[in-house]
Structure 1
Protein backbone atom coordinates (compact mmCIF):
# COMPACT_ATOMS: atom_id res chain seq x y z
CA UNK A 1 0.00 0.00 0.00
CA UNK A 2 1.23 3.50 -0.72
CA UNK A 3 2.39 5.75 2.09
CA UNK A 4 1.39 9.41 2.16
CA UNK A 5 2.83 12.24 4.21
CA UNK A 6 0.45 15.04 5.20
CA UNK A 7 1.75 18.62 5.17
CA UNK A 8 0.15 21.88 6.27
CA UNK A 9 1.25 25.51 6.22
CA UNK A 10 2.93 26.62 9.44
CA UNK A 11 0.13 28.45 11.21
CA UNK A 12 -0.71 28.49 14.87
CA UNK A 13 -4.41 27.66 14.45
CA UNK A 14 -5.72 24.93 12.16
CA UNK A 15 -9.42 24.90 11.62
CA UNK A 16 -11.80 23.77 8.91
CA UNK A 17 -10.93 26.76 6.68
CA UNK A 18 -7.26 25.78 6.49
CA UNK A 19 -7.79 22.08 5.84
CA UNK A 20 -8.24 22.67 2.11
CA UNK A 21 -4.57 23.69 1.96
CA UNK A 22 -3.32 20.39 3.43
CA UNK A 23 -1.12 18.52 0.95
CA UNK A 24 -0.72 14.75 0.64
CA UNK A 25 2.59 13.58 -0.87
CA UNK A 26 2.74 9.96 -2.01
CA UNK A 27 5.98 8.20 -1.24
CA UNK A 28 7.40 5.85 -3.85
CA UNK A 29 8.45 5.81 -7.48
CA UNK A 30 6.98 8.50 -9.78
CA UNK A 31 6.93 7.22 -13.37
CA UNK A 32 6.19 10.61 -14.93
CA UNK A 33 9.12 12.18 -13.11
CA UNK A 34 11.43 9.52 -14.51
CA UNK A 35 10.09 9.76 -18.07
CA UNK A 36 9.61 13.52 -18.36
CA UNK A 37 11.83 14.98 -15.63
CA UNK A 38 11.95 18.61 -16.74
CA UNK A 39 8.22 18.76 -17.49
CA UNK A 40 7.33 17.01 -14.21
CA UNK A 41 9.50 19.38 -12.16
CA UNK A 42 7.97 22.43 -13.88
CA UNK A 43 4.42 21.05 -13.50
CA UNK A 44 4.95 20.60 -9.75
CA UNK A 45 6.57 24.04 -9.46
CA UNK A 46 9.85 22.72 -8.12
CA UNK A 47 11.84 25.57 -9.62
CA UNK A 48 15.12 25.16 -7.71
CA UNK A 49 15.10 21.44 -8.34
CA UNK A 50 14.37 22.12 -12.03
CA UNK A 51 17.36 24.45 -12.33
CA UNK A 52 19.56 21.97 -10.47
CA UNK A 53 18.35 19.12 -12.69
CA UNK A 54 19.10 21.02 -15.89
CA UNK A 55 22.56 22.03 -14.64
CA UNK A 56 23.31 18.48 -13.48
CA UNK A 57 22.30 16.94 -16.81
CA UNK A 58 24.35 19.47 -18.82
CA UNK A 59 27.44 19.05 -16.63
CA UNK A 60 27.25 15.24 -16.65
CA UNK A 61 26.66 15.04 -20.43
CA UNK A 62 29.43 17.51 -21.27
CA UNK A 63 31.86 15.73 -18.92
CA UNK A 64 31.11 12.33 -20.45
CA UNK A 65 31.52 13.65 -23.99
CA UNK A 66 34.83 15.32 -23.04
CA UNK A 67 36.10 12.04 -21.57
CA UNK A 68 35.30 10.38 -24.88
CA UNK A 69 32.47 8.13 -23.80
CA UNK A 70 30.17 6.92 -26.54
CA UNK A 71 26.52 7.80 -27.01
CA UNK A 72 25.42 4.48 -25.48
CA UNK A 73 27.22 5.29 -22.21
CA UNK A 74 25.77 8.81 -22.17
CA UNK A 75 22.27 7.39 -22.73
CA UNK A 76 22.78 4.80 -19.96
CA UNK A 77 23.92 7.42 -17.43
CA UNK A 78 21.06 9.74 -18.41
CA UNK A 79 18.65 6.83 -17.90
CA UNK A 80 20.10 6.09 -14.47
CA UNK A 81 19.77 9.76 -13.50
CA UNK A 82 16.15 9.72 -14.71
CA UNK A 83 15.50 6.67 -12.50
CA UNK A 84 17.06 8.54 -9.59
CA UNK A 85 14.69 11.45 -10.19
CA UNK A 86 11.76 9.04 -10.29
CA UNK A 87 12.74 7.54 -6.94
CA UNK A 88 13.47 10.90 -5.27
CA UNK A 89 10.53 12.90 -6.67
CA UNK A 90 8.50 12.74 -3.48
CA UNK A 91 11.55 13.75 -1.47
CA UNK A 92 11.91 16.83 -3.68
CA UNK A 93 8.24 17.69 -3.09
CA UNK A 94 8.65 17.36 0.69
CA UNK A 95 11.87 19.41 0.58
CA UNK A 96 10.08 22.17 -1.30
CA UNK A 97 7.25 22.19 1.24
CA UNK A 98 9.64 22.33 4.19
CA UNK A 99 11.55 25.15 2.51
CA UNK A 100 8.28 27.12 2.43
CA UNK A 101 7.79 26.48 6.20
CA UNK A 102 5.15 23.77 5.91
CA UNK A 103 4.91 21.22 8.73
CA UNK A 104 4.55 17.50 8.34
CA UNK A 105 1.49 16.56 10.36
CA UNK A 106 1.15 12.84 9.88
CA UNK A 107 1.95 9.74 7.86
CA UNK A 108 -0.97 7.79 6.39
CA UNK A 109 -1.05 4.38 4.70
CA UNK A 110 -3.89 4.01 2.19
CA UNK A 111 -4.75 2.62 -1.24
CA UNK A 112 -5.13 6.02 -2.91
CA UNK A 113 -5.07 9.72 -2.06
CA UNK A 114 -8.81 9.86 -1.37
CA UNK A 115 -8.60 7.03 1.15
CA UNK A 116 -5.54 8.70 2.71
CA UNK A 117 -7.50 11.91 3.14
CA UNK A 118 -10.39 10.06 4.78
CA UNK A 119 -8.09 8.23 7.18
CA UNK A 120 -6.14 11.34 8.07
CA UNK A 121 -9.18 13.55 8.67
CA UNK A 122 -10.93 10.83 10.69
CA UNK A 123 -7.91 10.63 12.99
CA UNK A 124 -7.37 14.39 12.99
CA UNK A 125 -10.94 15.26 13.92
CA UNK A 126 -10.96 12.57 16.64
CA UNK A 127 -7.84 14.15 18.15
CA UNK A 128 -9.36 17.63 17.94
CA UNK A 129 -12.52 16.45 19.74
CA UNK A 130 -10.61 14.64 22.49
CA UNK A 131 -10.70 16.29 25.91
CA UNK A 132 -7.44 17.88 26.96
CA UNK A 133 -6.24 18.35 23.39
CA UNK A 134 -2.76 19.82 23.75
CA UNK A 135 -1.25 20.35 20.29
CA UNK A 136 2.02 21.68 21.69
CA UNK A 137 2.80 18.26 23.13
CA UNK A 138 2.55 16.71 19.66
CA UNK A 139 5.26 18.97 18.25
CA UNK A 140 8.04 16.63 17.14
CA UNK A 141 10.54 19.44 16.72
CA UNK A 142 11.14 19.92 20.46
CA UNK A 143 14.33 18.54 21.99
CA UNK A 144 14.05 15.45 24.16
CA UNK A 145 13.81 15.91 27.92
CA UNK A 146 17.12 16.20 29.73
CA UNK A 147 18.36 14.09 32.60
CA UNK A 148 19.56 15.43 35.96
CA UNK A 149 16.63 17.80 36.38
CA UNK A 150 15.61 17.91 40.04
CA UNK A 151 12.03 16.95 40.72
CA UNK A 152 11.48 14.91 37.55
CA UNK A 153 10.83 11.20 37.81
CA UNK A 154 13.24 10.22 35.08
CA UNK A 155 16.15 12.36 36.26
CA UNK A 156 17.92 9.65 38.28
CA UNK A 157 17.51 6.06 37.10
CA UNK A 158 17.61 3.31 39.70
CA UNK A 159 21.03 1.75 40.19
CA UNK A 160 21.28 -1.83 38.90
CA UNK A 161 21.10 -4.49 41.57
CA UNK A 162 24.08 -6.84 41.81
CA UNK A 163 21.92 -9.82 42.77
CA UNK A 164 19.58 -9.79 39.79
CA UNK A 165 20.32 -10.91 36.25
CA UNK A 166 18.05 -9.82 33.46
CA UNK A 167 17.26 -12.67 31.12
CA UNK A 168 16.27 -16.30 31.41
CA UNK A 169 17.98 -17.01 34.74
CA UNK A 170 16.74 -14.69 37.49
CA UNK A 171 19.17 -15.96 40.14
CA UNK A 172 22.94 -16.12 39.70
CA UNK A 173 24.13 -19.71 39.58
CA UNK A 174 20.65 -21.20 39.22
CA UNK A 175 20.35 -24.48 37.38
CA UNK A 176 18.80 -24.67 33.96
Structure 2
Protein backbone atom coordinates (compact mmCIF):
# COMPACT_ATOMS: atom_id res chain seq x y z
CA UNK A 1 0.00 0.00 0.00
CA UNK A 2 1.45 3.42 -0.93
CA UNK A 3 2.60 5.90 1.68
CA UNK A 4 1.93 9.63 1.26
CA UNK A 5 3.52 12.54 3.07
CA UNK A 6 1.38 15.64 3.55
CA UNK A 7 3.01 19.07 3.26
CA UNK A 8 1.64 22.56 3.88
CA UNK A 9 3.11 26.02 3.37
CA UNK A 10 4.32 27.71 6.53
CA UNK A 11 1.86 30.50 7.33
CA UNK A 12 0.87 32.41 10.40
CA UNK A 13 -2.60 30.88 10.47
CA UNK A 14 -2.89 27.32 9.20
CA UNK A 15 -6.64 26.95 9.14
CA UNK A 16 -9.29 25.44 6.91
CA UNK A 17 -8.83 28.12 4.21
CA UNK A 18 -5.27 26.94 3.50
CA UNK A 19 -6.19 23.29 2.90
CA UNK A 20 -6.37 23.65 -0.88
CA UNK A 21 -2.62 24.30 -0.91
CA UNK A 22 -1.69 21.04 0.87
CA UNK A 23 0.57 18.74 -1.17
CA UNK A 24 0.43 14.94 -1.04
CA UNK A 25 3.69 13.29 -2.15
CA UNK A 26 3.57 9.56 -2.85
CA UNK A 27 6.61 7.64 -1.70
CA UNK A 28 7.92 4.86 -3.89
CA UNK A 29 9.04 4.32 -7.46
CA UNK A 30 7.79 6.82 -10.08
CA UNK A 31 7.74 5.20 -13.53
CA UNK A 32 7.35 8.44 -15.46
CA UNK A 33 10.27 10.00 -13.61
CA UNK A 34 12.40 7.03 -14.66
CA UNK A 35 11.25 7.05 -18.30
CA UNK A 36 11.13 10.82 -18.89
CA UNK A 37 13.30 12.31 -16.13
CA UNK A 38 13.70 15.85 -17.44
CA UNK A 39 10.07 16.17 -18.51
CA UNK A 40 8.87 14.81 -15.15
CA UNK A 41 11.05 17.28 -13.25
CA UNK A 42 9.81 20.20 -15.36
CA UNK A 43 6.17 19.05 -15.02
CA UNK A 44 6.48 19.08 -11.21
CA UNK A 45 8.40 22.40 -11.25
CA UNK A 46 11.51 20.98 -9.64
CA UNK A 47 13.79 23.51 -11.34
CA UNK A 48 16.97 23.08 -9.31
CA UNK A 49 16.67 19.31 -9.54
CA UNK A 50 16.15 19.66 -13.31
CA UNK A 51 19.29 21.75 -13.66
CA UNK A 52 21.23 19.26 -11.54
CA UNK A 53 19.88 16.34 -13.61
CA UNK A 54 20.89 18.02 -16.89
CA UNK A 55 24.37 18.84 -15.59
CA UNK A 56 24.86 15.33 -14.19
CA UNK A 57 23.70 13.59 -17.39
CA UNK A 58 25.85 15.85 -19.57
CA UNK A 59 28.91 15.42 -17.33
CA UNK A 60 28.59 11.63 -17.27
CA UNK A 61 28.03 11.43 -21.05
CA UNK A 62 30.94 13.77 -21.85
CA UNK A 63 33.20 12.09 -19.29
CA UNK A 64 32.49 8.59 -20.55
CA UNK A 65 32.89 9.58 -24.23
CA UNK A 66 36.20 11.32 -23.48
CA UNK A 67 37.44 8.19 -21.68
CA UNK A 68 36.55 6.09 -24.72
CA UNK A 69 33.94 3.93 -23.00
CA UNK A 70 31.72 1.85 -25.30
CA UNK A 71 28.20 2.93 -26.20
CA UNK A 72 26.77 -0.03 -24.31
CA UNK A 73 28.39 1.13 -21.07
CA UNK A 74 27.12 4.69 -21.66
CA UNK A 75 23.61 3.30 -22.23
CA UNK A 76 23.79 1.20 -19.05
CA UNK A 77 24.95 4.24 -17.06
CA UNK A 78 21.99 6.22 -18.42
CA UNK A 79 19.62 3.37 -17.49
CA UNK A 80 21.04 3.26 -13.94
CA UNK A 81 20.61 7.02 -13.58
CA UNK A 82 17.03 6.71 -14.88
CA UNK A 83 16.32 4.04 -12.25
CA UNK A 84 17.87 6.27 -9.60
CA UNK A 85 15.62 9.13 -10.75
CA UNK A 86 12.57 6.87 -10.48
CA UNK A 87 13.45 5.81 -6.95
CA UNK A 88 14.42 9.28 -5.71
CA UNK A 89 11.71 11.37 -7.41
CA UNK A 90 9.60 11.67 -4.24
CA UNK A 91 12.66 12.69 -2.24
CA UNK A 92 13.35 15.44 -4.77
CA UNK A 93 9.77 16.66 -4.41
CA UNK A 94 10.01 16.71 -0.60
CA UNK A 95 13.40 18.47 -0.79
CA UNK A 96 11.95 21.16 -3.05
CA UNK A 97 8.96 21.65 -0.76
CA UNK A 98 11.22 22.03 2.28
CA UNK A 99 13.35 24.54 0.36
CA UNK A 100 10.18 26.52 -0.37
CA UNK A 101 9.50 26.66 3.38
CA UNK A 102 6.80 24.01 3.52
CA UNK A 103 6.46 21.76 6.55
CA UNK A 104 5.50 18.12 6.71
CA UNK A 105 2.22 17.69 8.56
CA UNK A 106 1.56 13.97 8.49
CA UNK A 107 2.20 10.59 6.90
CA UNK A 108 -0.80 8.72 5.47
CA UNK A 109 -1.06 5.15 4.18
CA UNK A 110 -3.73 4.72 1.51
CA UNK A 111 -4.46 3.01 -1.82
CA UNK A 112 -4.60 6.23 -3.85
CA UNK A 113 -4.25 9.98 -3.40
CA UNK A 114 -7.98 10.57 -2.96
CA UNK A 115 -8.19 8.07 -0.12
CA UNK A 116 -5.05 9.57 1.42
CA UNK A 117 -6.65 13.02 1.34
CA UNK A 118 -9.82 11.69 2.93
CA UNK A 119 -7.93 9.90 5.73
CA UNK A 120 -5.70 12.89 6.39
CA UNK A 121 -8.51 15.44 6.52
CA UNK A 122 -10.61 13.19 8.77
CA UNK A 123 -7.76 13.08 11.30
CA UNK A 124 -6.80 16.72 10.81
CA UNK A 125 -10.30 18.13 11.28
CA UNK A 126 -10.81 15.97 14.39
CA UNK A 127 -7.58 17.36 15.79
CA UNK A 128 -8.65 20.94 14.94
CA UNK A 129 -11.96 20.39 16.75
CA UNK A 130 -10.13 19.16 19.85
CA UNK A 131 -7.82 22.17 19.76
CA UNK A 132 -10.78 24.53 19.36
CA UNK A 133 -12.64 23.02 22.35
CA UNK A 134 -9.99 23.69 24.97
CA UNK A 135 -11.47 22.76 28.34
CA UNK A 136 -8.30 23.69 30.22
CA UNK A 137 -9.07 27.35 29.52
CA UNK A 138 -12.36 26.98 31.42
CA UNK A 139 -11.35 24.76 34.35
CA UNK A 140 -8.40 26.33 36.14
CA UNK A 141 -9.42 25.61 39.73
CA UNK A 142 -10.78 29.09 40.41
CA UNK A 143 -14.33 29.78 41.52
CA UNK A 144 -16.77 30.15 38.65
CA UNK A 145 -17.45 33.63 37.36
CA UNK A 146 -20.36 35.41 39.00
CA UNK A 147 -23.24 37.13 37.28
CA UNK A 148 -24.46 40.51 38.36
CA UNK A 149 -28.09 39.63 39.11
CA UNK A 150 -29.53 41.68 41.97
CA UNK A 151 -31.06 39.70 44.81
CA UNK A 152 -29.37 36.42 43.95
CA UNK A 153 -26.83 34.97 46.43
CA UNK A 154 -24.48 33.79 43.69
CA UNK A 155 -24.20 37.25 42.14
CA UNK A 156 -21.86 38.51 44.86
CA UNK A 157 -18.52 36.83 45.50
CA UNK A 158 -17.82 35.91 49.12
CA UNK A 159 -16.16 38.70 51.10
CA UNK A 160 -12.46 38.47 51.81
CA UNK A 161 -11.57 37.89 55.49
CA UNK A 162 -10.21 41.13 56.96
CA UNK A 163 -9.17 39.94 60.39
CA UNK A 164 -6.91 37.13 59.33
CA UNK A 165 -3.78 37.52 57.27
CA UNK A 166 -2.22 34.52 55.66
CA UNK A 167 1.54 34.74 55.57
CA UNK A 168 4.41 35.55 57.86
CA UNK A 169 2.78 38.34 59.85
CA UNK A 170 -0.21 37.42 62.00
CA UNK A 171 -1.47 41.02 62.49
CA UNK A 172 -1.48 43.93 60.12
CA UNK A 173 1.00 46.58 61.24
CA UNK A 174 2.61 44.34 63.89
CA UNK A 175 6.38 44.50 64.51
CA UNK A 176 8.63 41.93 63.02
Aligned to 1:23: 23
Report Cα offsets for 1:92-132 as digits up to 9, x if no partner.
Answer: 00000000000000000000000000000000011111143
Aligned to 2:168: none
Aligned to 2:77: 77
Cα distance in 2 for residues equivalent to 1:30 and 1:21: 22
Report Cα offsets for 1:60-108 as digits up to 9, x if no partner.
Answer: 0111111111000000000000000000000000000000000000000
Where does the alignment leave 5 or more consecutive residues of structure 1 unmatched? 134-176
How far 1:14 moved relative to its partner?
1.5
Tell me the secondary structure at the aligned position of residue 16 of structure 2. Answer: coil
Runs of 4+ in 1 over 4 A off after TM superposition: none
Aligned to 2:100: 100
User: What is the TM-score normalised by the length of structure 2?
Assistant: 0.74
Cα distance in 1 for residues equivalent to 2:128 and 2:17: 15
Aligned to 1:33: 33
Cα distance in 1 for residues equivalent to 2:134 and 2:87: 41
More helix by share: 2
Cα distance in 2 for residues equivalent to 1:9 and 1:128: 17
Where does the alignment leave 5 or more consecutive residues of structure 2 unmatched? 136-176
Aligned residue among 120, 132, 135 for 2:134: 132
> What do you get for the CA RMSD once the two structures are aligned?
1.1
Cα distance in 2 for residues equivalent to 1:106 and 1:54: 32
Aligned to 1:52: 52
Number of residue pairs matched by the alignment? 133
Whichever of the two has the greater Rg, that structure is: 2
